[in-house]
A and B are shown apart, each in its own frame.
Chain A
Amino acid sequence: MYNRIIWNDILKSKLITLTTMIFVAVAAMLVSLAAILVFNLSGSLDTLMKNAKTPHFMQMHSGEIDTVRLESFAKQNSNINTFQVVEFLNIDSAQIILGNNSLANSIQDNGLSVQNEQFDYLLDLSGNIIHVSDGEIYVPISYMRDNTTKIGDLAIISGKEFVVAGFLRDSTMNSSLSSSKRFLISTNDFAEIKDLGSIEYLIEFRLKDYSAIGEFEAAYTSAGLEANGPTLTYTLFKTLNAISDGMMIAVILLVSALVVTIAFMSIRFTLLAKIEDDYREIGVMKAIGIHLSDIKKIYLAKYAAIAATGSILGFIISLMFQGILLENLRLFMGKSENSYFAIVLGIIGILIVFLAIVAYVNGVLKRFKKITVAEAIRFGTSQEKKVVAKRFSLVRNRLYSTNIFLGIKDVFTRKRLYATMLMVLVISTFIIIVPQNLFNTISEKSFIQYMGIGNYDLRIQTNTAEKIKDIVKTIDSDSAISKYVVMTTKTFKVKTSNGSEENIKVELGDHSAFPIAYSVGRAPAAENEISLSSINADELGKEVGDVMKLVIEGREKDLRVSGIYSDVTNGGKTAKALFSDNTTSVMWTIICVEFSDKSLVDSKVLGYSDKFDFAKTSDIDEFVSQTLGSTISSVQKASFAAIVVALIITVIVTLLFMKMLIAKERYSIAIMKALGFTNSDIRTQYASRSVFVLIVGIILGTLLANTLGEVLASALIASFGAATFSFTVNPLTAYFLSPLMMLVAVLFATKLGTSDAGQINISDNIKE
């Protein structure tokens, strides 16, 4: 009997059943995909890092190295299992040509390396340790991904020819977020080419007990060992490797939460509409003594059927889609050992979705208890108890047309009923506006000030301290340059509050020439002042006005914190000061240049790139677009996607909500029609309800977007180093076009959802 009832019911409401099933299928697909991805990611990551024997601690260092001192440190520290110093030959990216493509525009620090002997192996795409022959080169996997080169291509590095023999997975530098990329060549070739670049050392350790990494780091710093470069740990490598796929999983989970919510809402609205439709029949069934649980079963069975079909469909689609999503993961990290278990987890995921839906439907059906037989048979609809909004009276209304008045009055009278729709509209407005504002903000030219970059035209960066004078001399004599400043970055030790010492990179120079935006305080103006990036200020626990101690050549120097700024460069951990220091070696130097005639920038970049081939010359716009360009374009894509998703949600929820209202209010509509209200009057009343709720939704959503949204966006940006910023709002899109799109969506859905109102027959609904 159930089968027949369910089947008839599904045939009667094909569109709604299909919509609900699609939502369930999408929700199940996403949950299953997320489960499959999580397990594959963790599995692949573990396999990669196990096979590569990723170092637990890595100190990058440029400059002189005292290997004997390092070896004695390694011997004395009982926690060290193995230790090695790896050479990384930094090559100017313009000197690397792969096939037909030059890496001149790459912002990565590309360099050459040989295969390691003990750990930190570079692996081929099957996960095996690569044994490279003379004349061969293995290229980082990211250059395969972006189609820069292919196997068999000719590679020319600083004039020496290689054949691209394959691609490599590098467990420490695989991620696009990691700024260095290692190419693998043979030991003979390395020795031959060694003088054509600058050597950077990777001082690497594997520990016996990784949990004691904190103590190990402190011991390394306090031993005063080589530390002229970034320090990285196993956890950081893991995070860097996991982050891009992890973010994809997070987005999938977020979207699946959203879709599950919509699926629940659509089930709620259609179920309530169905109950209203069947009100009299339910009353009759109760009256003739059919048990409540048996009546419930009829409804539950239908949704269980929809949920089961949707979940199974979703799972099958997720299996079809997993290949595409796992492609990137498999390419960068290899196949996971957990792939079968991942599928089991996917099944558990869809089971949870299925059970959640059944439980939810069961919850909604609890209202059967409240249906009284007499009321159901007599009225055929639920008789809600309402408090009439008294102050809002038709006889005193002069402001609105009667239809609009009736619409708004209904919303005021039944606030709870409209709360769900309002919530959806608030969320939709929020997800339309926030990504849009974020995109406007980060694509604004002035945003680079939040990134710790001043407003100049060109930068020349070099690690070769001896040649700075040449550059300065040339620039000084260039009449096209209106202003320039030389900034040198050096590593000092800073005393932390617990007395230990940590490394800090300080950029020395005149910071007033190209000012950046300070979230608190100002740039350092005196010898005894220092400003900190927000991440550094947080980590060191310093605020403006606090004094901090730097250790320079064994002597302590007190510096007062003059300001805190946002920075996305160098991992967001920087400091700025203007004291002079000739004792510490320079890590790198940046010369910031401003031209009086901006149209010269392009030709000057080319000219200086040629002239100073040992340095990296970049147009600041190019620098920004390479640093932030992919983020800006992702945010732009995300904001378009958000608009589409929000509008679809708005249309679907409004449509289902209106259909539910029409089903609930057949009696009232019949009265209206009997009293001489036309179908278009009735549609106007429903449109006024949805437009009124929409207006409140847009106002609340916009307020929320500009407050909570700004905080959330700030938090997101803060994770890259920028501390505080305020949204750059484009009033045309945020306050006109977005609400207009919402309005069109809501009106369209209302018109579609209320089209049945015209079919309501007066006599069927009023006749005694």
Chain B
Amino acid sequence: MKKIIIGDHIVKSFGVKDDQRNVLDGVSVEINEGEFVAIMGPSGSGKSTLMFALSGMDSLTNGRVIFEGMDLTEIGEKELSEIRRIKMGFIFQQPTMLKYLNIIDNIVLPSMRNNRKNAPKIAEKARKLMRRVGIGDFEKRDITQVSGGQLQRAGICRALMNNPKIIFGDEPTGALNSKSSEDIMDIFSEINMEGTALMLVTHDAKVAARSDRIMFMHDGKIVSELKLEKFNGKDIEDRINEVTVKMREVGI
């Protein structure tokens, strides 16, 4: 299978000269096209940092990240921005929305850059996505007028607007209740089935259980991996148990 992202001996250090700490300590990962990867690990293990490093949102101390054959550490800020805008989607734990734009404007934002002539088409696509994730009626609402779950759905719509190759999620259900969380995960599974690769950072076994592969991190290193069958909507309890056992095994 074709690899979409290759992380090659990634090192990310924080701190001052004499007191440096490697948050990522020579991590190498590969993600295939259409693959759903979950990253688990205790707090401070470097999960989010890895996600930010692979998506080009953070600079590396050492190592390389290859996205579709392009070395993200070598290209300029403009090209990197374009890759993030067109080929990647992002969903964060807190809904990262611009406060002075309403829901639909926030969703269309990345698609509208240099593309205002296609505004009607873009708006139509946004409405379609909003209906699909169940927030079709909230188009003109302020971001303060909807719930956290609804905002997270809006975030998903925004991430999907440019038909990305991969969506990165940093604890996307972390701030939601279990019902909302399940709904969101259903949407993620659906997106993945349609061929978009996913890389989610999570603490939650229920979320990880839907993935194809789970990477376990500890002290800036990938210490273990668990491969699962492609999730088809069935046997979720068994998958959760399998993940939980593995988590215990690696000490999370």
Interface of A with B (CB < 8 Å)? 383-386, 388-390, 393-398, 400-403, 405, 409-410, 413-414, 667-668, 671-681, 758, 761-763, 766-768
A-B pairs with beta carbons under 8 Å apart, 15 shown = A384-B99, A393-B105, A398-B116, A398-B119, A402-B112, A671-B98, A672-B98, A675-B84, A676-B110, A677-B85, A678-B78, A678-B82, A767-B48, A767-B170, A768-B93
Question: Do A395 and B114 have beta carbons less than 8 Å apart?
Answer: no
Measured between beta carbons, the chain A residues less than 8 angstroms from B102 are 388, 390, 393
Alpha-carbon distance A671/B99, docked complex (angstroms): 11
Query: B101, A679: Cβ atoms under 8 Å?
Result: no
B96 contacts A401, C-beta separation under 8 Å: no
Question: Which of A410, A675, A766 has the most C-beta atoms of chain B within 10 angstroms of its own C-beta?
Answer: A675
Residues of A within 8 A of B78 (CB): 678, 680
Alpha-carbon distance A680/B117, docked complex (angstroms): 21
Interchain CA distance A339-B93 in the complex, whole Å: 69
The residues of A that contact B90 with a CB separation of less than 8 Å are: 674-675
Per the 8 Å Cβ criterion, residues 162-194 of B in contact with A are: 170-171, 174
- Over the window 89-107 of chain B, the binary record of Cβ atoms lying under 8 Å from chain A Cβ atoms (1 yes, 0 no) is 0101110111111101100
In the complex, chain B residues whose CB is within 8 Å of the CB of A401: 114, 116
Within the complex, the shortest CB–CB distance from A246 to chain B, in Å, comes to 51
Decide: B140 and A402 in contact? CB cutoff 8 A.
Answer: no
Query: Distance (Å) between the CB of B184 and the closest chain A CB?
Result: 16
Q: What string of 1s and 0s marks CB contacts (under 8 Å) between B72-84 and chain A?
A: 0000011001111
Indicate whether A388 sits within 8 Å of B114 (C-beta atoms), given known contacts A394-B109, A767-B170: no
How many angstroms between the C-alpha atoms of A674 and B78 in the bound complex? 12
Whether A395 contacts B105 by the Cβ 8 Å rule is yes
Which residues of the partner chain B approach A680 to less than 8 Å between Cβ atoms?
A: 78
The interface residues of chain B lying within 8 Å CB-to-CB of A397 are 112, 116, 119
Neighbouring B residues of A386 by C-beta, 8 Å: 99-100
- Complex Cα distance, B174 from A336, in Å, reads 77
Question: CB distance B109 to A410 under 8 Å?
Answer: no
Q: Are B114 and A674 in contact (CB under 8 A)?
A: no
The CA-CA distance from A479 to B86 in the complex, in Å, is 88
Whether B84 pairs with A676 at a CB distance below 8 angstroms is: yes
- In chain B, positions 45-66 with a C-beta closer than 8 Å to chain A are 48-49, 52, 57-58
- Inter-chain contact B108/A395, CB cutoff 8 Å: yes
Contacts of B110 in A (CB 8 A): 675-677
Given A384-B99, A401-B114, A767-B170: A679 in contact with B119 (beta carbons within 8 A): no
Chain A residues with Cβ below 8 Å from B88 are 676
Q: Contact between B92 and A766 (Cβ–Cβ < 8 Å)?
A: yes
Complex Cα distance, B77 from A389, in Å, reads: 32
Nearest chain-A residue to B122 (Cβ)? A395
Say yes or no for B240: interface residue by CB 8 A criterion.
no
> Which residues of B pack against A, CB within 8 Å?
48-49, 52, 57-58, 77-78, 81-86, 88, 90, 92-94, 96-102, 104-105, 108-110, 112-117, 119, 122-123, 126, 140, 142, 144, 158, 170-171, 174
Which of B96, B100, B116, B142 interacts with A674 by CB under 8 Å? B96
By the criterion CB–CB under 8 Å, are A763 and B57 in contact?
A: yes
Q: How far is the CB of A279 from chain B (nearest CB, A)?
A: 15
**Bound complex: CA of A393 vs CA of B105, how far in Å?**
7
Which residues of B sit under 8 angstroms from A761, Cβ to Cβ? 58
Residues of chain A lying within 8 A (CB to CB) of residue B82 = 676, 678
> Which chain B positions have C-beta within 8 A of A388?
100-102, 142
Given known A-B contacts A395-B104, A677-B113, A767 and B52 have beta carbons under 8 A apart: yes
| Contact (Cβ within 8 A) A677 B81 | yes
Is the beta-carbon distance between A762 and B58 smaller than 8 angstroms? yes
Partner of A394 from the list B99, B101, B158 (CB cut-off 8 Å) is B101
Which residues of the partner chain A approach B108 to less than 8 Å between Cβ atoms? Answer: 394-395
> Given the complex of chains A and B, what is the CA–CA distance between A402 and B48 in angstroms?
30
Residues of A within 8 A of B112 (CB): 394-395, 397, 402
State whether A768 touches B58 (Cβ < 8 A): no
Given the complex, which residues of A lie within 8 Å of B140, measured CB to CB?
Answer: 390, 393
B193 to chain A, nearest CB (A): 25
Inter-chain CA distance A767–B47, complex, in Å, is 11
Is there contact, CB below 8 Å, between B52 and A762?
yes
Q: Which 6 A-B pairs have the closest CB atoms?
A: A676-B85, A394-B105, A395-B123, A413-B100, A763-B52, A676-B84
Q: Is the CB of B113 within 8 A of A676?
A: yes
Contact across chains for B96 and A676 when beta carbons are under 8 A apart: no
Nearest chain B CB to A688 CB, angstrom units: 14
Q: Which interface residue of A405, A674, A762, A766 has the most chain B CB atoms within 10 A?
A: A674
Known: A673-B57, A768-B94. 14 other contacts (CB 8 A): A384-B99, A388-B102, A390-B102, A393-B104, A394-B105, A395-B122, A409-B100, A668-B99, A675-B110, A676-B82, A677-B110, A677-B113, A678-B81, A767-B170
Q: Is A768 in contact with B100, judged by CB distance below 8 angstroms?
A: no
Contacts of B142 in A (CB 8 A): 388
B100: min CB distance to chain A, Å: 4
A763 to B110, CA, bound (A): 18
- Chain B residue with minimal CB distance to A671? B96
